[in-house]
Amino acid sequence: AALTRVGHRVTTDDGRSFDCPTGDTLLRAALRAGVAATYECNSGGCGTCKYTLSSGSVHQLDPDAPGLTPRDKRKGKMLGCQSIPLTDCEVSLVAGEAWYDGHTPPRHLRAQVTDVASLTHDLREVTLRTDGPADFLPGQFAMLSADAVPVHHGSPGDAPRRLERAYSMSNLPNPQGVWQFQIKRVPNGAVSPIFVDRLAPGDTVTIDGPYGHAHLRSTERDVVVVAGGSGLAPMVSVARGLAARPDAARRRLDFFYGGRGAQDMCAGAFVEEVSAALHSATLVEAVSTPADAADDGWTGPRGYIHELIGFDSLPDLADREIYVAGPPPMTDAVVRMLVLDLGISTDNIHYDKFF
Ligand code: FES
């Protein structure tokens, strides 16, 4: 009997091909099939997943996604993370970075909430449990959606979709299937207030992951991490990954964290946790609200973290692996400073852009 295929066949102009399950995006289907494709945010913001469609047709989830410029649109470019194939397709994808060892393709997993803890006034640590192991690399992220999140009806004819958001794991991969995320309440957000205020033990969450390139590299270099706002979680995972290495006692970690106000500062406990295993671990925290606008008792540095990082106090900066996570303007500012002002090789700087 003929085999029926659920979904569509996608062929790339350099001769790769893969099946795209019904309703899945072009980008995710490629990654699930082990086809390297370039991407960062997986949610329409960064434009890294641009491609051109040579034949076939796709539905675009968000035709106005900020990742596409008007010029891109005129040239017929589309975003792989926003495209759902409606027919078999031929596409030209930009080949991704070399596939890393021990890579786990992203997949859908059902998980149960086992714990929700408050880290700050608007940041929750949500612990989930899956049946199988939690397979990812420290620093990676997953797309989360919860049954408690309303279904989104797009344009007529679209399959209804539950809204999802990208969150980074803050713990380490483990065979027990424990996944921890730090979720910040975005005022007026469509998803995060539900995660922060309504999610409770026993609730079901869907994890789609892992994704992301800003994972801990297995080199012998010492590490610098720079985290802003909700970029804390992946940097905590990177720090924990470093501390779990057999040679941790020889490794140095410099951890920089920037938040809006004194009430956002919570990196200290994580740096303390890893410091025992490492040769050294230092923390610099800064709040961005100026002193005259805040009455928060903060006595530490004030300003944007990229302006305060004591990069000059790190004489061997060029020999470090540097990880950056946070809002795109902060990530851009840090990366620009490292590359343009300090001449650091982009090979040593790792980040994913979130929106
Ligand atoms: Fe598609 Fe960022 S816009 S990965």
Q: What is the atom index within ligand 1 of the atom nearest the CA of 82?
A: 1
CA of residue 43 to ligand 1 center, whole Å: 5
Domain ranges of the chain: 8-92, 107-211, 223-351
pLDDT in tens, 226-258: 999 889 999 999 999 999 999 999 999 999 999
ipTM value: 0.99
For domain 223-351, the question of CATH label 3.40.50.150 is answered with: no
pLDDT in tens, 46-86: 999 999 999 999 999 988 999 999 999 999 999 999 999 99
The sign of the dihedral angle between the CA atoms of 111, 328, 32, 160 is positive
CA of residue 351 to ligand 1 center, whole Å: 14
Q: Give phi and psi for 193, each to the nearest 5.
A: -60, -30
Q: What is the atom index within ligand 1 of the atom nearest the CA of 353?
A: 2
Q: Is the pLDDT of residue 151 over 60?
A: yes
CA angle in degrees (0–180, nearest 5) for 122-124-128: 160
Which CATH number does the domain 107-211 belong to among 3.20.20.140, 3.40.47.10, 2.40.50.140, 2.40.30.10?
2.40.30.10
DSSP string for residues in 292-348: GG--S---S-BS-HHHH--GGG-TTGGGSEEEEES-HHHHHHHHHIIIIIT---GGG
The total of other beta-carbon atoms located within 10 Å of residue 318's CB is 14
Q: Is the pLDDT of residue 5 over 60?
A: no
Residues 6+ apart with CB under 8 A from 76: 52, 53
Please give the sequence-ordered ranges of beta strands (E in DSSP) within 36-122, or none if there are none. 50-55, 58-60, 77-79, 83-85, 89-92, 107-118
- The hierarchical CATH code for the domain 8-92 is 3.10.20.30
- For residue 212 and ligand 1, the question of a CB distance below 6 A is answered with no
CA of residue 236 to ligand 1 center, whole Å: 24
